[in-house]
A and B are shown apart, each in its own frame.
Chain A
Amino acid sequence: MKKMMRRTFGAIAAGAVLATGVASTGPALAQSKVLKFVQNGNLTILDPIWTTAYVTRNHGYFIYDTLFASDENNVVKPQMVDKYEVSADKTVWSFTLRDGLEWHDGTPVTSADCVQSIKRWAARDAMGLKFMDFVKEFKEVDAKTFQIVLKEPYGLVLDSLGKPSSQVPFMMPKKVAETDPFKQIDSQIGSGPFIYQKDESKPGEKHVYLKNPKYKPRSEPASGLAGGKVVKVDRVEIVEMPDTQQQVNAMIAGEIDVLEQPPHDLIPVLKKDKGVKLVDWNPLGHQFIIRFNWLQPPFNNQKIRMAALLAMRQEDYLKATVGEPEYYKVCSAAFVCGTPNAFDAPNGLLVKPDFEKAKALLKEAGYDGTPVVLMQSTTLPVLTNTAPVTKQLLEQAGFKVDMQSMDWQTLVTRRTKKEPASQGGWNVFHTFSVAADILNPIATSYMVANGDKSWFGWPTDPEMEKLRDAYAKETDPAKGKALAKAVQDRALETAQYGWIGQWYGPGASRANISGWLKAPVPVMWNIEKK
């Protein structure tokens, strides 16, 4: 009876839906390959320079292209650039664009567009700001060639232009890129492999992208974010679905094709379904961070910060937040394990706590027992359990901890306050980064130590800034690596901040989906739907 009901209901519904669906959408769409993709969050802002939101960065990769891009092994390769040269004194970089690059409105991509796009990006991005410290001028040689003239050699020119994650130096038409970097752009014209369908897209419901028929992919095979961006579906729809349980339900029911990152506690549900497969698309993963406020007691004292670091045990955090060892890695390297700049911290720091030494340091520093205000975010599931672990570890080391729970937006507001904790300020909080954002001392905003211009916590350490500058100027990779280690050592010596575990979150797709590239960003080119 149940089966009969199901068949009857299904037949009626399917017939009705098919009839009305085909009638309303037309045969073209009915036959086209549509990929339905759910991201971790709603896409509300469409300017990837104006915000660092990862969903907006993903949108950027749909419609824009980049001069350079990193491949699967994090090696920066030309993307829009056909060839580039650097002068013998390493101060003049010349870039020539590929043939046939066009904006979605059919006009050619020019060097003027690229120069203006770099300027706008560099006004907002930490790595861009550093890059501009070294730039003397931009020169437009001709429509396809431009030069960047540096004041002195800079070791991260290609890394900057090929920065993979927020904020990505996307190329935009000159007129669009002339928009004030602190105002959102109005246009969605890019030169990337997809064209945004503004009329069909409804924020809060869905965003629609069509394959760009005029896009000329590079001839190399796709690898990471580099290589040929060959689009193998006709249309991608980003479906806005805020509820993670519903994302998983919709994946099991076959209503969506690709899910960026289901929460760890729902992965077993997906694993059980034969129609779904898990994809490790971001092998570098993410890193948890603990950040101290250098301006207010007690963490304005280096010994007390070090006492806190001595209490850290990465595995406690990873077990409490991620759970399955399959999805985390104990890693004491600031610049992410599995990358060229990965170095273990000395003496088991961050991995094996030394509570006795921490207590002795607290005593030596004269810690008076004033509770440290630890801000706990309760709305980002992956962060929620970090603060209780910190509270327990710090208390074991002899701290008194006042853990205050709040939503993430309240936390990001409060972390801007420099006042004492008793007057609405703070002492310590947690965040996390996509590993691709923290692969070297310049890209890692947590390493900046120039007071007010630093990231929240406002560390001041001229020695650290000297090391970072030296790293930025170094063009020899071997010497650069040594400097990256010196930066990490210095950060640990001053207990500038703590990196407390590396974790991974696989994506999910229907079994008929293939070609999801390994990259720090979920990109929809190369994906096939059978």
Chain B
Amino acid sequence: MIDFIVRRLIAIIPVLTVVAILVFLMLRLTPGDPAAVIAGDNATSDQIADIRTKLGLNEPIWTQFVIWIGDMLQGNFGESFFFKKTVAELIAQRIEPTLALAVCTLIFAVGISVPIGVLAAYRQGSLLDRVVMGFSVVGFSVPGFVIGYCLIYVFAIELGWLPVQGYIRIGVNFWGFLERMVLPSLTLSVGFIALISRITRASVLEVLNEDYIRTARAKGLSNRVVLMRHALRNAAVPILTVIGLGIAILIGGAVVTESVFGLPGLGRLTVEAVLSRDFPTIQAVILMFSVVYVVVNLLIDISYTLFDPRIRY
């Protein structure tokens, strides 16, 4: 097991190297000059050229890359062109809302999708099954921001139960935090619920036809025990895999959801950085997201062993 983890951790290095090169090159090759953005609307070409020189953007691309990689290896993510802060500080300041959104979304998504997926499989062909499958199609098809606006209209504007937007840090006011997390997490979890419930249904259906399920029933076990202990546990591996892959959806969705609900997280930071061509911030945030994605999937791989003893690393 330890060998496996070490090998997987080592494998992160080439992945991150490729991501770093791609991000760096894409930013340099796409149009947009941070110096022109910084200089503002009244700036002359000379002023823009001066700012470019001060930011080091006139150096050859490979020189800029070597400097950046060198700094990164020393744990220095650089300084934002715009915020007058180090990128590490910016990320530290913005990580809480994104983390909170991700955790709440996962709780909502797994808490809702796995039970309804199992029930849909158990009652295959029933009205419940059709409703769950119908929901999963709609959940996939409707963009997150539309769901967000609909939820806001109903629960914040018409009913007035929840705030429209904003974020309160968990340490400042726990209830305020919870109130402001409900709608964004629900919005982001809809697509996730659709995905996981569909996979759960398919996996459980497959398992329900296995001999050992028939044996369990023949032993006189209750439906609940058969479903939860025997069927779901054996169907867990594909479900976990989808949850791991879904982290990418979560990261992408956070960008939109945070903008819609005014959450000051990493998703919004990414949008702001891209729009203003804040190269150091974009590079660091994308690298960080890559690390998170790889590490979460490593954890998912490790967790397979908990559900399926045949899996050995």
> When each residue 122-134 of chain B gets 1 if its CB lies under 8 Å from chain A and 0 otherwise, what string results?
0000000000000
Cβ contact of B179, chosen from A17, A205, A240, A455, cutoff 8 A: A17
Cβ contact of B268, chosen from A2, A17, A204, cutoff 8 A: A204
Known contacts: A45-B82, A253-B164. The answer to whether A453 contacts B40 by CB under 8 A is: no
Are B179 and A13 neighbours in the complex by a CB distance under 8 Å? yes
Are A52 and B36 neighbours in the complex by a CB distance under 8 Å? no
Contacts of A21 in B (CB 8 A): 173, 176
Question: Which residue on chain B has the smallest CB distance to residue A249?
Answer: B164
Are B82 and A409 neighbours in the complex by a CB distance under 8 Å? no
Are A52 and B43 neighbours in the complex by a CB distance under 8 Å? yes
Closest approach, in angstroms, between the C-beta of B145 and any C-beta of chain A? 9
Closest approach, in angstroms, between the C-beta of B305 and any C-beta of chain A? 40
Among B31, B160, B163, residue most surrounded by chain A Cβ atoms (within 10 Å): B31
Contacts of B85 in A (CB 8 A): 203
Closest approach, in angstroms, between the C-beta of A146 and any C-beta of chain B? 26
Question: Which residue on chain A has the smallest CB distance to residue B263?
Answer: A205
Contacts of A514 in B (CB 8 A): none
Contact residues, A10-47 vs B (CB, 8 A): 10, 13, 16-17, 19-21, 24-25, 42, 44-46
Contacts of A183 in B (CB 8 A): 54
Contacts of A44 in B (CB 8 A): 82-83, 272, 276
Does A407 lie at the interface of the complex (its beta carbon under 8 Å from any beta carbon of B)? yes
Contact residues, A437-495 vs B (CB, 8 A): 445, 452-456, 458
| Inter-chain contact total with CB atoms closer than 8 Å | 153
Contacts of A45 in B (CB 8 A): 82-84
Sampled A-B contacts (12; CB under 8 Å): A13-B161, A21-B176, A51-B40, A52-B42, A204-B269, A204-B272, A240-B264, A243-B260, A246-B262, A249-B165, A406-B31, A452-B45
Contacts of B210 in A (CB 8 A): none
Known contacts: A186-B84, A204-B272, A250-B165. The answer to whether A413 contacts B31 by CB under 8 A is: yes
Known contacts: A13-B179, A453-B44. The answer to whether A20 contacts B174 by CB under 8 A is: yes
Q: How far is the CA of A126 from the CA of B44 in the complex (A)?
A: 9
**Which one of B151-159, B234-242, B282-290 is at the A interface?**
B151-159
Cβ contact of B259, chosen from A25, A242, A415, A452, cutoff 8 A: A242
Contacts of B48 in A (CB 8 A): 416
Cβ contact of B42, chosen from A10, A249, A445, cutoff 8 A: A445
Contacts of B167 in A (CB 8 A): 205
Are B175 and A51 neighbours in the complex by a CB distance under 8 Å? no
Are B41 and A52 neighbours in the complex by a CB distance under 8 Å? yes
Are A255 and B164 neighbours in the complex by a CB distance under 8 Å? yes
Q: How far is the CA of A453 from the CA of B48 in the complex (A)?
A: 12
Closest approach, in angstroms, between the C-beta of A372 and any C-beta of chain B? 19
Q: How far is the CA of A130 from the CA of B48 in the complex (A)?
A: 19
Closest approach, in angstroms, between the C-beta of A441 and any C-beta of chain B? 15
Does A392 lie at the interface of the complex (its beta carbon under 8 Å from any beta carbon of B)? no
Does B277 lie at the interface of the complex (its beta carbon under 8 Å from any beta carbon of A)? yes
Closest approach, in angstroms, between the C-beta of A9 and any C-beta of chain B? 5
Closest approach, in angstroms, between the C-beta of B108 and any C-beta of chain A? 18
Question: Which residue on chain A has the smallest CB distance to residue B163?
Answer: A255
> When each residue 145-188 of chain A gets 1 if its CB lies under 8 Å from chain B and 0 otherwise, what string results?
00000000000000000000011000000000000001110100
Does A245 lie at the interface of the complex (its beta carbon under 8 Å from any beta carbon of B)? yes
Cβ contact of B157, chosen from A42, A249, A453, A456, cutoff 8 A: A249
Are A253 and B163 neighbours in the complex by a CB distance under 8 Å? yes
Contacts of A63 in B (CB 8 A): none
Cβ contact of A51, chosen from B38, B159, B160, B179, cutoff 8 A: B38
> When each residue 44-57 of chain A gets 1 if its CB lies under 8 Å from chain B and 0 otherwise, what string results?
11100011110000
> When each residue 227-246 of chain A gets 1 if its CB lies under 8 Å from chain B and 0 otherwise, what string results?
00000000000011111011
Question: Which residue on chain B has the smallest CB distance to residue A379?
Answer: B275
Are A246 and B260 neighbours in the complex by a CB distance under 8 Å? yes
Are A205 and B264 neighbours in the complex by a CB distance under 8 Å? yes
Does A329 lie at the interface of the complex (its beta carbon under 8 Å from any beta carbon of B)? no
Are B161 and A6 neighbours in the complex by a CB distance under 8 Å? yes
Are A6 and B159 neighbours in the complex by a CB distance under 8 Å? yes
> When each residue 172-195 of chain B gets 1 if its CB lies under 8 Å from chain A and 0 otherwise, what string results?
111110010000000000000000
Are B164 and A203 neighbours in the complex by a CB distance under 8 Å? no
Interface on A for B, CB 8 Å cutoff?
Answer: 2, 6, 9-10, 13, 16-17, 19-21, 24-25, 42, 44-46, 50-53, 124-126, 166-167, 182-184, 186, 202-205, 239-243, 245-246, 249-250, 252-253, 255, 379, 406-407, 409-410, 412-416, 418, 431, 445, 452-456, 458
Closest approach, in angstroms, between the C-beta of B94 and any C-beta of chain A? 6
Known contacts: A44-B272, A239-B166, A409-B275. The answer to whether A452 contacts B161 by CB under 8 A is: no
> When each residue 21-42 of chain B gets 1 if its CB lies under 8 Å from chain A and 0 otherwise, what string results?
0000000000111001110111
Q: How far is the CA of A246 from the CA of B40 in the complex (A)?
A: 27
Q: How far is the CA of A41 from the CA of B277 in the complex (A)?
A: 16
Are B51 and A182 neighbours in the complex by a CB distance under 8 Å? yes
Does B149 lie at the interface of the complex (its beta carbon under 8 Å from any beta carbon of A)? yes
Question: Which residue on chain B has the smallest CB distance to residue A413?
Answer: B33
Contacts of B261 in A (CB 8 A): 246
Closest approach, in angstroms, between the C-beta of B39 and any C-beta of chain A? 8
Are B41 and A431 neighbours in the complex by a CB distance under 8 Å? yes
Does B50 lie at the interface of the complex (its beta carbon under 8 Å from any beta carbon of A)? yes
Cβ contact of B31, chosen from A240, A414, A456, cutoff 8 A: A414
Q: How far is the CA of A406 from the CA of B31 in the complex (A)?
A: 9
Are B161 and A255 neighbours in the complex by a CB distance under 8 Å? no
Are A410 and B31 neighbours in the complex by a CB distance under 8 Å? yes
Q: How far is the CA of A42 from the CA of B162 in the complex (A)?
A: 24
Known contacts: A52-B42, A412-B36, A445-B42. The answer to whether A24 contacts B83 by CB under 8 A is: no
Closest approach, in angstroms, between the C-beta of B298 and any C-beta of chain A? 30
A-B pairs, top 4 by smallest CB distance, nearest first, are A52-B40, A205-B264, A413-B33, A16-B175
Closest approach, in angstroms, between the C-beta of A527 and any C-beta of chain B? 21
Closest approach, in angstroms, between the C-beta of B259 and any C-beta of chain A? 6
Q: How far is the CA of A241 from the CA of B47 in the complex (A)?
A: 31
Q: How far is the CA of A255 from the CA of B167 in the complex (A)?
A: 12
Cβ contact of A253, chosen from B50, B157, B276, cutoff 8 A: B157
Are A416 and B40 neighbours in the complex by a CB distance under 8 Å? no
Known contacts: A166-B42, A255-B166. The answer to whether A20 contacts B33 by CB under 8 A is: no
Are A255 and B165 neighbours in the complex by a CB distance under 8 Å? yes
Contacts of A124 in B (CB 8 A): 47
Closest approach, in angstroms, between the C-beta of B93 and any C-beta of chain A? 6
